């Protein structure tokens, strides 16, 4: 779909300007980024290093020992070393285990709540470093995730700026290639890494290429039938992601406040 094509040179220039301006407006000394070894955080790191200079970017790897793929940990560090940005590694396993041991009230399936706890712990670590260094947290969420609500509220969705938030996943790939993100990272199967074997596609039910075509079709105000045909998906898939966006819209909003 033509609307998913992006000029990476223009995108790089505009996003770099955005990053510089937001950091300046906040009176901050740089940014802190969570590095997962995936395409989004790697692209974000490359962008921020370009915009602010490597001395003003800190990448923090926050694996969960025994769960996080070893290759992802290595790739996160490789990105930091390649760019020359600051780097820290904090294993969150003991923090997660400690919290779960102290919450024993409920005898229910805790897989999803436990999974969501991880990005919230990571968020707290990123803001700790940001507070220490007078920096902003630069989140790595993309437009595909935001529209599908595929992120943890007050977890990986929590940040001061989201430089990739205007780009669909397929567009992030285009920008990543232009910036020089290692090809092995670009080619990885997308995963949030919340449990072993987890993939984005298995949870969403569609690959990002098709998901992006659905949302791009909605941007173009195409009929649901035309979108289904263009994306080679069922009509019910189009309707499912429209409803998903509606139901998860609260994740992108500040807390609701009543009127007196």
Mean pLDDT of 52-67: 97
- Quote the pLDDT of residue 24: 99
- Quote the pLDDT of residue 253: 94
In the structure encoding, which two tokens stand for residue 124, read together? 């707290």
Give per-residue pLDDT as tens, 81-99: 999 999 999 999 999 999 9
87 forms beta bridges with 59
- Give the whole-angstrom CA distance, residue 148 versus residue 136: 25
What's phi and psi for 161, nearest 5 deg?
Answer: -140, 155
In this predicted structure, the answer to whether residue 246 has a pLDDT above a threshold of 80 is yes
The answer to whether position 127 is within a domain reads yes
The answer to whether position 102 is within a domain reads yes
The answer to whether position 92 is within a domain reads yes
- Quote the pLDDT of residue 72: 96
Boundaries of domain holding 12: 2-196
The answer to whether position 144 is within a domain reads yes
The answer to whether position 247 is within a domain reads no
In the chain, count of helices (H) and strands (E)? Answer: 12, 4
CATH of the domain at 115: 3.40.50.620
The answer to whether position 166 is within a domain reads yes
In this predicted structure, the answer to whether residue 228 has a pLDDT above a threshold of 80 is yes
Q: What does each C-alpha distance from 236 to 214, 227, 232, 244 come to in angstroms?
A: 11, 11, 12, 12
- Give the whole-angstrom CA distance, residue 192 versus residue 146: 14
Give per-residue pLDDT as tens, 141-173: 999 999 999 999 999 999 999 999 999 999 999
Q: How many independent structural domains does the chain possess?
A: 1
In this predicted structure, the answer to whether residue 108 has a pLDDT above a threshold of 70 is no
């Amino acid at each position: 779909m033509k609307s998913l094509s992006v000029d990476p040179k223009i995108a790089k220039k505009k996003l770099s300007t955005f990053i510089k301006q937001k950091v300046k407006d906040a009176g901050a000394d740089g940014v802190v980024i969570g590095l997962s070894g995936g395409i989004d955080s790697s692209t974000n790191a490359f962008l921020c290093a370009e915009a602010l200079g490597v001395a003003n970017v800190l990448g923090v790897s926050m694996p969960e020992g025994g769960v996080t793929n070893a290759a992802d940990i290595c790739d996160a560090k490789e990105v930091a070393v390649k760019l020359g940005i600051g780097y820290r590694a904090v294993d969150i396993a003991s923090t997660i285990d400690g919290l779960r041991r102290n919450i024993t009230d409920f005898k229910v399936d805790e897989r999803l709540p436990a999974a969501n706890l991880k990005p919230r712990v990571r968020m707290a670590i990123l803001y700790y470093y940001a507070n220490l260094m007078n920096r902003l947290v630069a989140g790595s969420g993309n437009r595909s995730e935001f529209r599908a609500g595929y992120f943890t509220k007050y977890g990986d969705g929590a940040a001061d700026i989201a430089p990739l938030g205007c780009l669909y996943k397929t567009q992030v790939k285009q920008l990543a290639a232009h910036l020089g993100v290692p090809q092995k990272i670009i080619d990885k199967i997308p995963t949030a890494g919340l449990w072993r074997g987890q993939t984005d596609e298995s949870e969403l039910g569609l690959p990002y290429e098709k998901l992006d075509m659905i949302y791009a079709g909605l941007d173009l105000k195409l009929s649901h039938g035309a979108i289904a045909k263009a994306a080679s998906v069922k009509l019910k898939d189009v309707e499912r992601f429209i409803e998903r966006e509606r139901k998860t819209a609260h994740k992108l909003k500040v807390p609701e406040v009543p009127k007196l």
